[in-house]
Amino acid sequence: MHAAIRNLPEDQRDDVGDELRGSIADRVDSLRASSDLSDEQAEYAAVEELGDPDRLAAGYSGKRLQLIGPELYPSYIRVLKAVLVSVVPIVAIVIAVIGLIEDDPTGSVIGKTTWTAVNAALQIAFWITLTFALVERGSTPEKVEESLGVEWTPDKLPDVPRGTYGALGEMVTNLVLLAFIAAAIVWQQFRSPIHDEGERLPLLDPDLWSFWLPLILVLLVAEMAFEVVKYRAGSWSRGLATVNVVLGAVFAAPIVYLAATDKLLNPAAVAEMQQGWSGFDPEVTNTVVMITAVAIWLWDSIDGWRKAMAAQPERSRHS
């Protein structure tokens, strides 16, 4: 009995103690009357039936015996998923790019990237879990959800079907592709395979780092963020399709401009490649780059609007 009441508030201990004494005494009498148990055996059985004293005390005090209660668990999962999807890929990309810049072995880059990504995921999970556990004990679930902006409303119901762009695998694939492009831009500056008397010659004009290449890298990050937004939205909408067209045009425009004005390739690298391969024509390369950039933008724009229009009947039917 002492184990059950010792953690209760002072004003509850006497009342709960008296109640438990009475319950145990009544049960001991009942057990002795219905069996041949001794006083000690009957008392042991009665106490055993009451169960874990900590659980018993929690029932009297209303103390929570779970880390994250059922009221906040859905919000906890939503926040945890959102932060993991948003942060872990970016951390992995940064570590991988740093490894490539420092010319680390491929195995070392993969190992460091994987270890850092896993460690980041564990840290995020730990701190978010700890935050929810502490906050839940100091406030009501409704106030916690409201302060975090994760309270559930019917507006957050997903569209049915979820949408062709809702798959996590598709989002991750696109994020990896965009990250690869960004890493390749940085890599060609420091680890270009084109050499001239031992000096590495970047394929892209180094002067572009004064404005154009940083702009393209920023746009790649914006594209990655938009991939997350599309996944979180659950399905395409006209608004998302419009943003997709504009963002794609903004990304393709500098590439097309630089290729059209012959400012994309490094003249020194072009000259070195022509020495080893006389058939290399920078004009053809620029033309291919322009056509590819425009074709990808058009295909992506049309595909986005096709998916948005296909989602409208389902959206209307469930509105």
With 70 as the cut, is the pLDDT of residue 145 above it?
A: no
* Same domain flag for 125 and 220: no
Residue finishing a domain among 136, 157, 178: 157
CA distance 309 to 246: 17
Residue-wise pLDDT tens digits, 172-208: 778 878 888 888 898 888 888 888 777 889 999 999 9
The pTM of the full predicted model, rounded to 2 decimals, is 0.51
User: CA 301, CA 126: separation in Å to the nearest integer?
Assistant: 40
pLDDT at 56: 65
Range of the domain at 123: 66-157
One domain for residues 179 and 275: yes
Judge whether 308 and 316 are in contact, CB under 8 Å: no
Of 113, 129, 157, the last residue of a domain is 157
Q: Is the predicted pLDDT of residue 271 greater than 50, yes or no?
A: yes
3-state helix, strand, coil in the chain (%, to 5): 75, 0, 25
Query: Which residue type, as a one-letter code, is found at position 146?
Result: E
N- to C-terminal Cα separation, the chain: 57
Do 76 and 128 contact (CB within 8 A), yes or no? Answer: yes
Of the chain, the percentage scoring pLDDT greater than 70 comes to 70
Query: Given a cut of 80, is residue 169 above it in pLDDT?
Result: no
197 plus 261 within the same structural domain = yes
